[in-house]
Each structure stands twice: as C-alpha cells, then as structure tokens.
C-alpha cells in the first residue's frame, strides 16, 4: 500500500473496482429494458427475461433454486445474475456462450424458458404499434429483425453495472471499512477464496471444478462443462460466479443448495479449500462479502 497525495493506491490488489463509466447506447438500452421486462418474448405471453433475473431486489438472479419458464416448466440450474455480466469472460454456468449476444439468444429459443423462434419474436413485436415505432426510431427500419431485438437486449445488459460498492470505494481510498470487514478480506485472500474470485467481478473469468477436496454430488442433467465436451474430467466444472452484490442473490451455488451466505462460505471452504473455518472467521468473511453491494444501475432509474 503506497500513499500518493493523500490517495491510497492498491496497485497489487487482485480485485479491481467496477469502472465508473461503462459505455453503452442509452437509446438502444432503454428499448432493451422494455424488451427485458416484456412477456411478449415468450410463447405464452407470461414469462419475461425479468421473470428469472430479478434486477430490482434479487441482485439480478432468481430467488428460487431453479427458474420456471413457459407452462411452468422447471429449469435445471440456478439462474445466474445478469448484473455486471459484461465483465464475464463467457456466459452461462458452462460457458457455452462466448458473449452477451449468444447468451441473449439462449433463453428465447429454449423450450423450457421462453420457447420462441426468431420469426415468432419478429411477428409478435411487429404486431405492436409501439414496438414498430421504437424500432423505426432507433434502427431506422420498418421491418423488425430478430438481430435488432438481441442487439437492444444486449445493450441493456451492458448497462447493468453496479459501481461504487463500499469495497470499491475502499480500494480507491475513498472510504474506510470496519476492522471485521478488513479482516474478512484478509482471510478471503489467505484461505484461498481469491484464487478463483478475483478481477473486476470477483469471478466470471475462469472455469473451475466444484469438489476439489471432497466430491460434490453430480447431477446428470446439470449444464456443466461436461455437457458440452463430454470429457469426464469436466464433470462439475462451472464458470466461477461473480461475488458482486452477493448478499442479494440467495440461494447460492449452481444448484441453489446453500440458503444463506454463511452456508455458502461453509460449503466452499469444505469442497474447494479442504478446510474448516471457525465461526468467527466465517462471520468476518461474510461481513466482507456484504461490502460488495454496488449502486443500482442508472438505467433502472429511467422510465420506459
């Protein structure tokens, strides 16, 4: 830690603050916001992207263990947060989407989720005078194309960043943390959590196997990396989830088996670190994790 002109510079910290300015096209993002919230994108007109990603009070994730799509069909994995997803190196738990464009395509076509084809989406939106007007204004076309729908949704997702968490402000030398919170961060690094949870998103930048020190029960229908590669070595290998806004995204883990943040820390220390933390250590780490709650994305304060 070095001091320059009264500012604290954490040049060697393995975690970086979320950038204060994440560029996006506001006009497109507002259209994407409307689409994200609209069940018109589902075959039953009853499910929206927001149905599985609570961007207002659920940290961008789902409070259910798994989400429910059209005809109340049950998903097979916990819905990850869409907040700060622009900072993930890949999307979905098994990393099958290389970017947000591929990711946005997935749920719309999935028969369990929104169950729509490209033509279905274009037809439904073209029947709406409001959407025809909005797409004409933004994309300068009288014909709504599915690629434009995805483009708008992605632009909205790019706007879903949560900067200025207490911890980010601490890293920038703008705010102090309590001693317990600082101790929790120190423990987070010392016991090894930082090995996987680092960078801007404290995760989202690598694939890791759950169950390094103790075997984690594998479920055949889980979309892990094995479901793509069919290589047995990749069973129970998932993208490391972000810890941003983690206090809001219960239940935890890919299967939603950890009900509380404390349960999640205990499980991770057991399966990933091969250690048993004291209750005091767990509480301090939890206190640190709660400092990762950032500001509400500015786009959500806009009217649509």
pLDDT in tens, 133-169: 999 999 999 999 999 999 999 999 999 999 999 999 9
What is the model's pLDDT at position 84? 98
Q: What is the pLDDT of residues 65-119, one digit of tens each?
A: 999 999 999 999 999 999 999 999 999 999 999 999 999 999 999 999 999 999 9
Q: Is the pLDDT of residue 1 over 60?
A: no
Q: 3 versus 175: which is more confidently predicted?
A: 175
- Residue 124 falls in the annotated catalytic set: no
- Select the CATH number that applies to the domain covering 166-292 from these four: 3.40.50.150, 1.10.8.640, 3.30.70.2190, 1.10.760.10: 1.10.760.10
Q: What is the pLDDT of residues 230-268, one digit of tens each?
A: 999 999 999 999 999 999 999 999 999 999 999 999 999
Which ranges in the chain belong to alpha helices (H)? 26-37, 49-52, 100-109, 118-126, 129-139, 146-158, 166-171, 179-190, 226-229, 261-271, 279-289
Q: Is the pLDDT of residue 53 over 60?
A: yes
What is the model's pLDDT at position 10? 54
The Cβ of residue 86 has, within 10 Å, a number of other Cβ atoms equal to 21
pTM as predicted: 0.94
- Distance, CA of 175 to CA of 196 (rounded, Å): 26
What is the domain partition of the chain in residue ranges?
Answer: 26-161+297-301, 166-292
Q: How confident is the model at residue 222 (pLDDT cuts 50, 70, 90)?
A: confident
The residue with tokens 């983690």 is: 246
Q: Which of 113, 122, 181, 281 is catalytic?
A: 113
Question: Residue 152 in 3-state DSSP?
Answer: helix
Residues 51-58 have a mean pLDDT of 96
- Distance, CA of 186 to CA of 244 (rounded, Å): 17
What is the model's pLDDT at position 11? 58
Domain at 26-161+297-301, CATH homologous superfamily:
Cytochrome c-like domain (1.10.760.10)
Q: What is the pLDDT of residues 2-35, one digit of tens each?
A: 333 334 445 579 999 999 999 999 999 999 999 9
What is the model's pLDDT at position 221? 80
The answer to whether the beta carbons of residues 241 and 272 sit under 8 Å apart is no
The residue with tokens 């004291």 is: 278
Tokens of 43: 């075959």
The answer to whether the beta carbons of residues 152 and 32 sit under 8 Å apart is yes
Q: How confident is the model at residue 219 (pLDDT cuts 50, 70, 90)?
A: confident
Q: 297 versus 219: which is more confidently predicted?
A: 297
- Burial bucket for residue 193 (CB in 10 Å: 0-12, 13-18, 19+): buried
Are 26-161+297-301 and 166-292 the same fold in CATH?
yes
What is the model's pLDDT at position 72? 97
- Distance, CA of 105 to CA of 151 (rounded, Å): 10
């Amino acid at each position: 830690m070095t001091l320059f002109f009264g500012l604290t510079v954490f040049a060697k910290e393995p975690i970086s603050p979320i950038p204060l300015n994440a560029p996006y096209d506001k006009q497109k993002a507002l259209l994407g916001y409307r689409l994200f919230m609209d069940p018109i994108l589902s075959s039953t007109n009853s499910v929206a992207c927001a149905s599985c990603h609570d961007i207002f009070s659920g940290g961008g994730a789902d409070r259910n263990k798994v989400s429910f799509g059209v005809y109340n069909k049950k998903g097979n994995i916990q819905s990850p947060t869409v907040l700060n997803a622009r900072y993930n190196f890949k999307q979905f738990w098994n990393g099958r989407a290389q970017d947000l464009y591929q990711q946005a395509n997935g749920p719309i076509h999935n028969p369990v989720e929104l169950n729509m084809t490209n033509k279905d989406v274009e037809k439904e939106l073209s029947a709406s005078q409001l959407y025809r007007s909005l797409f004409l204004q933004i994309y300068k076309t009288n014909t709504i194309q599915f690629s434009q729908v995805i483009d708008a949704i992605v632009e909205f997702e790019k706007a879903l960043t949560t900067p200025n968490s207490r911890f980010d402000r601490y890293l920038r030398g703008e705010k102090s943390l309590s001693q317990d919170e600082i101790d929790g961060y120190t423990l987070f690094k010392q016991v090894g959590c930082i090995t996987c949870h680092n960078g801007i998103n404290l995760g989202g930048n690598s694939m890791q196997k759950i169950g390094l020190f103790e075997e984690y029960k594998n479920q055949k229908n889980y979309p892990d990396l094995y479901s793509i590669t069919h290589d047995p070595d990749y069973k129970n290998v998932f993208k490391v989830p972000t810890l941003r806004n983690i206090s809001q995204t219960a239940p935890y883990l890919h299967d939603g088996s950890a009900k509380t943040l404390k349960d999640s820390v205990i499980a991770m220390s057991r399966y990933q670190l091969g250690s048993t933390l004291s209750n005091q250590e767990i509480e301090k780490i939890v206190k640190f994790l709660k400092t990762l709650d950032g500001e509400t994305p500015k786009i959500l304060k806009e009217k649509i």
